[in-house]
Structure 1
Amino acid sequence: MDLSLLRTFLAVYRAGSLTAAAGLVGLSQPTVTAQLRALEAELGSQLFQRLPRGVAPTTVADELAAEVASHIDALAAVAERGLVARDPFTKPLHLAGPAELTTMRVLPALAPLVDQGLRLRISLGLSDELLAGLAAGRFDLVISTVRPRGRAVVAAPLTDEEFVLVAGRSWAARIDRERLAGEGAGCLRGVPLVSYAEDLPVIRRYWRTLFGTRPTGSATVVVPDLRGVLAAVVAGSGISVLPRYLCTEELASGALVALLDPEIPPINTLYVAARAGTEHAPHIAAVRSRLLMQARLW
Structure 2
Amino acid sequence: MVNLEWYRTFKAVYQTGSLTAASKALFISQPNVSQHLSALEAHVGKQLFERKPRLVATDYGKLFYTQVVAALEKLEEVEADFKAICCLSQLPIIRVGAVKEFFHAVSSEKVARIPASLMISFGLTGELTARLSRGEIDFVIATQKTEKKNMIYEPIVKEEFAIVGSPDLETTAFNKFVKSKDWQQAEDWLLKQIWFAYSSDLAIIRRFWLKNFKKRPAIKPRFTIPDMQVILKAISAGGGLTITADYLAKELLLEKKLKLVWKGHTISDNILYLVYDKTKVTTEKIKLARMLLTSANL
Bin of the TM-score, shorter chain as denominator length: 0.5 to 0.7
Aligned-residue identity in percent = 24
Amino acid at match of 2:140: V
Q: TM-score, normalised by structure 1?
A: 0.63
- 1:191-233 CA deviation, whole Å, 9 max, x = no partner? 1210111111111111111221221131111111110111122
Aligned to 1:143: 141
Cα distance change on mapping 1:129 and 1:226 into 2, 3 Å: same
CA RMSD after TM alignment: 2.4
Of 198, 206, 209, which residue of structure 2 is paired with 1:207? 209
CA contact (8 A) 1:207 1:214 kept: yes
Report the count of equivalent residues. Answer: 208
Aligned to 1:158: 156
CA contact (8 A) 1:140 1:274 kept: yes
Matched position secondary structure for 1:143: strand
Matched position secondary structure for 1:150: coil
Amino acid at match of 2:92: K
Aligned to 2:282: 280
Aligned to 2:257: 255
Matched position secondary structure for 1:130: helix
Cα distance change on mapping 1:101 and 1:213 into 2, 3 Å: same
Matched position secondary structure for 1:268: strand
CA contact (8 A) 1:172 1:259 kept: no
Unaligned stretches of 5+ residues in structure 2: 1-86
CA distance in 2, matches of 1:89, 1:150: 32
Shift of 1:166: 0.8
Amino acid at match of 1:242: T
Shift of 1:176: 2.3
CA distance in 1, matches of 2:233, 2:172: 19
CA contact (8 A) 1:169 1:236 kept: no
Cα distance change on mapping 1:155 and 1:88 into 2, 3 Å: farther
Aligned to 2:193: 191
Aligned to 2:176: 178
Amino acid at match of 1:142: V
Aligned to 1:121: 119
CA contact (8 A) 1:110 1:287 kept: no
Matched position secondary structure for 2:280: coil
CA contact (8 A) 2:152 2:278 kept: yes
Amino acid at match of 1:144: A
Aligned to 1:242: 244
- 1:14-54 CA deviation, whole Å, 9 max, x = no partner? xxxxxxxxxxxxxxxxxxxxxxxxxxxxxxxxxxxxxxxxx
CA distance in 2, matches of 1:143, 1:135: 14
Of 269, 272, 278, which residue of structure 1 is paired with 2:271? 269
CA contact (8 A) 2:125 2:143 kept: yes
Aligned to 1:90: 91
Aligned to 1:37: none
Amino acid at match of 1:106: S
